Amino acid sequence: MRVAVLSDIHANVTALDAVLADIGSVDAIWHLGDVVGYGPEPDAVVARLSNVGATGVAGNHDRAAVGGPEIEWFNPDARAAMEWTRTHIDPTTAAWLRDQPERRTQGDALLVHGSPRDPVWEYITSASVVRANIPEMPTTIGLYGHTHVPMAWAERDGQIEGAEPRPGATVSLDGASHLLVNPGSVGQPRDGDPRASWMELDLAAATATWHRVPYDIPAVQRAMRDAGLPARLAERLRHGL
């Protein structure tokens, strides 16, 4: 079974379209939340995911977009973008966002946005955080987003190993008692590479492969400026930070 895993699209439909074209034919598309927020096209992104039958979970921005208290913890730029999002999403988009659960199990994979123990908010950024989350995993594989950085963590023989995969890198999932892997961000990467990021999960071969896709960043920046979204959010797309 070949699965495309996407996360943190953040209302960037131009990046999403580039990724969907790169994916081609797969057995399933899974998303890890933060579908909206920051970007200028929340309705279009949700429509694309709905049309391709994507399955996934809610992130903190998705919950905030439909009136959740998560907005109270946003920085000023994120809050301004979320207030804009709340007034621009249509009822179909809002209903789709509300339907996304905080956790979802697909076979031997657990899908969350943040972490297994705190699926909306916690950032997985260290081996100690990974170790603390392993008891909360009902599956061998955990898929998470939120950090906007591609990452692969594995527990082998009681030790936690971490690596930030380079574009095109393939990681074997065999031989690990638990794995936590992050596909990176489609719509707002933060690892210094502005290209859209996604991950191919081959469950039959037990491998994960990370991909980067260029897209028209200036066009998205123009759309953000035209919408009146914070300038800093548009500028950071150029740097992937």
pLDDT in tens, 161-203: 999 999 999 988 877 889 999 999 999 999 999 999 999 999 8
pLDDT in tens, 110-134: 999 999 999 999 999 999 999 999 9
What CATH class is the domain 2-239? alpha beta
pLDDT in tens, 85-101: 999 999 999 999 999 99
Asked if 63 contacts 99 with a C-beta cutoff of 8 angstroms, the reply is no
Helix axes 231-239, 76-88, angle to 10 degrees: 110
Beta-ladder partners of 212: 197
Q: Residue length, the chain?
A: 241
What is the chain's mean pLDDT, rounded?
A: 96
pLDDT in tens, 3-42: 999 999 999 999 999 999 999 899 999 999 999 999 999 9
pLDDT at 204: 86
**157 falls in which pLDDT band (50, 70, 90)?**
confident
pLDDT at 172: 86
Task: List the chain domain ranges.
Answer: 2-239
Record the pTM: 0.95
Mean pLDDT of 79-83: 98
